[in-house]
């Protein structure tokens, strides 16, 4: 006999720590483990509700005095590249894309370290060694790909994106690239190319992680048309991101018990014995 039973993951809250995006604020995360035979279904369901994956953990901001972190995605059907984005695509025509299984290499780690040292020397990943890097890439219970971009002329690895394949899109988990190639705007190019991949695969969305209005680090995500954010428990299209200010957002997240109660979990149709 078959029954439909909800999965019952346990949710936890991290201790407050300084926010990496907005000075003077504290961040806190709601999280749960991503494991078991239904990991893919759980990842899909929670990604649809603003969660992100980091190795075997799904998390979402749950700050006591702020709700400025908005989960963002691009509706690829509504996306139209701007003139500057078309120029970026043109400048990167010499890159060759290759998608592989999630396996870390020394070449990837060298590029990762070069990127961190130049862009995020004081960030949370600054001390990550090669074993921790391998864990970040390889510890995934779901369908994940490492998308590499290589220079066609000298065959040097130029950019890498760790990408999850969801039921309704691509989730860009983490990306890094040659930091000295400023003119190529590689961060923007990776998003543009993932939009292209999603279009080719008939997947409706590209998930970008979190966009924080007022944060210079996150400003680039607001430059894509077709942008949507998860706000007040639903995805909402954003026509003019520059009009969204932190003061217009809720002052804080709902209490943890209310948040967990509102989370929609997937169901399992496995037979009950």
Taking 50 as the threshold, does the pLDDT of residue 243 lie above it?
yes
34 and 152 co-located in one domain: no
170 and 259 co-located in one domain: no
59 and 98 co-located in one domain: no
64 and 96 co-located in one domain: no
Quote the crossing angle between the two packed helices 83-91 and 186-200, to the nearest 10°: 90
Number of domains in the chain: 2
151 and 165 co-located in one domain: yes
pTM metric for this prediction: 0.90
Which residue range forms the structural domain that includes residue 76?
72-231
Q: What is the DSSP string of 134-185?
A: HHHHH--SS-EEEEEEEETTT--EEEEEEEEEETTEEEEEEEEE-TT-GGG-
Taking 60 as the threshold, does the pLDDT of residue 1 lie above it?
no
41 and 96 co-located in one domain: no
198 and 213 co-located in one domain: yes
Residue 127 pLDDT level (bands cut at 50, 70, 90): confident
186 contact partners, CB below 8 Å, separation of at least 6: 92, 149, 158, 159, 177, 178
Q: Specify the CATH number for the domain of residue 106.
A: 3.40.630.30
18 and 37 co-located in one domain: yes
63 and 150 co-located in one domain: no
pLDDT at 257: 87
Taking 60 as the threshold, does the pLDDT of residue 270 lie above it?
no
């Amino acid at each position: 006999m078959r029954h439909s039973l909800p999965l019952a993951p346990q949710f936890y809250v991290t201790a407050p720590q300084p926010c990496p995006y907005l000075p003077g604020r504290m961040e806190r995360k709601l999280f749960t483990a991503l494991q078991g035979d239904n990991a893919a279904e759980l990842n899909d369901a929670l990604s649809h509700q603003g969660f992100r994956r980091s190795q075997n953990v799904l998390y979402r901001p749950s700050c006591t005095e702020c709700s400025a972190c908005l989960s963002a995605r691009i509706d690829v059907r509504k996306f139209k590249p701007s003139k500057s984005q078309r120029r970026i695509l043109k400048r990167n025509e010499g890159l060759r894309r290759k998608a592989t299984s999630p396996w870390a290499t020394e070449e990837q780690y060298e590029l990762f370290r070069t990127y961190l040292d130049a862009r995020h020397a004081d960030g949370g990943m600054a001390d990550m060694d090669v074993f921790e890097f391998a864990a970040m890439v390889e510890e995934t219970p779901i369908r994940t790909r490492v998308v590499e971009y290589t220079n066609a002329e000298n065959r040097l690895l130029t950019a890498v994106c760790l990408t999850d394949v969801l039921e309704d899109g691509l989730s860009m988990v983490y990306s890094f690239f040659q930091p000295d190639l400023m003119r190529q705007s590689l961060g923007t190019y990776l998003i543009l190319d993932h939009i292209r991949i999603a279009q080719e695969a008939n997947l409706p969305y590209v998930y970008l992680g979190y966009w924080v209005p007022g944060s210079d680090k996150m400003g680039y995500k607001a430059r894509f048309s077709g942008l949507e954010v998860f706000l007040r428990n639903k995805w909402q299209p954003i026509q003019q991101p520059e009009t969204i200010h932190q003061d217009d957002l809720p002052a804080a997240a709902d209490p943890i018990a209310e948040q967990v109660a509102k989370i929609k979990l997937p169901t399992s149709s496995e037979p009950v014995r």
